[in-house]
Structure 1
Amino acid sequence: MSEHRLQLAVIIGSVRDGRFGPTVANWFVGEAKGRDDVQVDLVDLADVPIGLAAPTMSPPDHVLQALGGLTPRLDAADAFVVVTPEYNHSYPGALKNVIDWHNAQFHAKPVAFVSYGGVSGGLRAVEHLRLVFAELHAVTTRNTISFHGAWEQFDGNGRPKDPHGPATAAKNLLNQVTWWARALKDAKATMPYQA
């Protein structure tokens, strides 16, 4: 089945010091790796040396060099899962820049969300991201995973203290995003997508 695996890019959207994103993303990647229909690529935006560059229509030259390793990974993905916190009722600026600088890489591909935060669990960030990805001709899945009070939801080993609910949510999300990935991939093989 390995030659038919979908390429799933899991993007850690926060680049701040002390961020909780890697804990959430690593848990999710562990859930996804239990499947035989996906190949996971964990994309940590903190490893892309773009800093918090001011948003522009096209990236500056030093950022273009930094994106040289990221762009092919996003291009190769059949589907995306964005792991995002909520900053000031929205999502991180570095994530927005990377999305804006990679328009075509998201065309006719599914995007799912794993969010985390305080009382809202990052859901307001997800609602904003749905609008952004619609503009990029991406398809967002209905199901999300949201960790409310995330810091209390995980143990010292980075695993959910109550694993059943999150594991079920991860399975449902992965079922949806892979269904859309196959449907869209098959459709594009039959007829090229017109953006």
Structure 2
Amino acid sequence: MSLKLTIIIGSTRPGRVGPTVAHWVDQFARDHGKFQVELVDLADIALPFLDEPAHPRFQQYEHEHTKRWSALVASSDAFVFVTPEYDYFPPATLVNAIQFLIKEWAEKPAAIVSYGGISGGLRSTQQLRLLISNVNMMPLQASVPIPMVTQFIGEDKVFRPNEPMSKGTTAMFDELHKWAVALKAMRERPAE
């Protein structure tokens, strides 16, 4: 069974380290070998703030940016959100990107790699889990927090995890794959 994993960089802030962390997650996912992987940067998607007049449950999108975003999310079987923590919360750009759609997220698993200071973005992860469950995604318990993230980025701008992070990421992808297989089969079941 072919499964598409979309890794989403949640921050668009100038000077962010999200792409550095996400490139590591992307390579880890490819090496894991159980997904077709696409890395998506919300800075490139450039969604404005909720500019569709109709509620997303109707899928009556007027704007090309929404139609492209909808197609990308709909084509995915699983997600990993790479997010910092801003004021104990995920970035507004990530919240906006999730709230732009609803049906396209449904019945798909999502994992979170968070980064930040001493908490490693765990408070952001908790808030994000609540949001993604509200759009009918399956938030995984397995997550990868990266505390004091800059200490793991070398002068060459490459992220180098420690052993617990790598083990946690393997466990996260193993769990994500199990849920992706089960939920894809459920989505493809004929309606009764």
| TM-score, normalised via structure 1 length | 0.87
Which runs of no fewer than 5 residues in structure 2 stay unpaired?
A: 56-61
> 2: CA distance between counterparts of 1:55 and 1:91?
20
Which runs of no fewer than 5 residues in structure 1 stay unpaired?
A: none
Which residue in the other structure is 2:186 paired with?
187
**Runs (4+) of structure 1 moved beyond 6 Å?**
54-57
> 1: CA distance between counterparts of 2:134 and 2:65?
25
> 2: CA distance between counterparts of 1:84 and 1:108?
21
For the residue of structure 1 that corresponds to 2:32, the secondary structure is coil
> 2: CA distance between counterparts of 1:28 and 1:108?
23
Distance 1:188-1:124 versus aligned 2 partners, 3 A rule: same
> 1: CA distance between counterparts of 2:191 and 2:103?
13
Instruction: State which drifts further: 101-110 or 156-165.
Output: 156-165
- Of 15, 32, 37, the residue aligned with 1:35 is 32
| TM-score, normalised via structure 2 length | 0.88
Is the 1:90–1:124 Cα contact (8 Å) retained in structure 2? yes
> 2: CA distance between counterparts of 1:82 and 1:49?
16
Q: Which amino acid aligns with 1:43?
A: V
Alpha carbon RMSD of aligned pairs, Å? 2.2
> 2: CA distance between counterparts of 1:134 and 1:99?
11
- Of 2, 7, 14, the residue aligned with 1:5 is 2
> 1: CA distance between counterparts of 2:152 and 2:54?
39
Is the 1:58–1:101 Cα contact (8 Å) retained in structure 2? no
> 2: CA distance between counterparts of 1:168 and 1:192?
39
Query: Are 2:160 and 1:170 aligned?
Result: no
Query: Are 2:112 and 1:104 aligned?
Result: no
Distance 1:26-1:20 versus aligned 2 partners, 3 A rule: same
> 2: CA distance between counterparts of 1:117 and 1:169?
17
Q: Give the C-alpha shift of residue 120 in structure 1.
A: 1.0
Distance 1:22-1:30 versus aligned 2 partners, 3 A rule: same
> 2: CA distance between counterparts of 1:96 and 1:125?
11
| Percent identity over paired residues | 31
Distance 1:138-1:54 versus aligned 2 partners, 3 A rule: closer
Distance 1:69-1:156 versus aligned 2 partners, 3 A rule: farther
Is the 2:7–2:22 Cα contact (8 Å) retained in structure 1? yes
Q: How many residues align?
A: 187
Q: Give the C-alpha shift of residue 109 in structure 1.
A: 0.5
> 1: CA distance between counterparts of 2:80 and 2:109?
9
Is the 2:52–2:63 Cα contact (8 Å) retained in structure 1? no
> 1: CA distance between counterparts of 2:191 and 2:41?
30
Which residue in the other structure is 1:18 paired with?
15
Q: Which amino acid aligns with 1:80?
A: F
For the residue of structure 1 that corresponds to 2:182, the secondary structure is helix
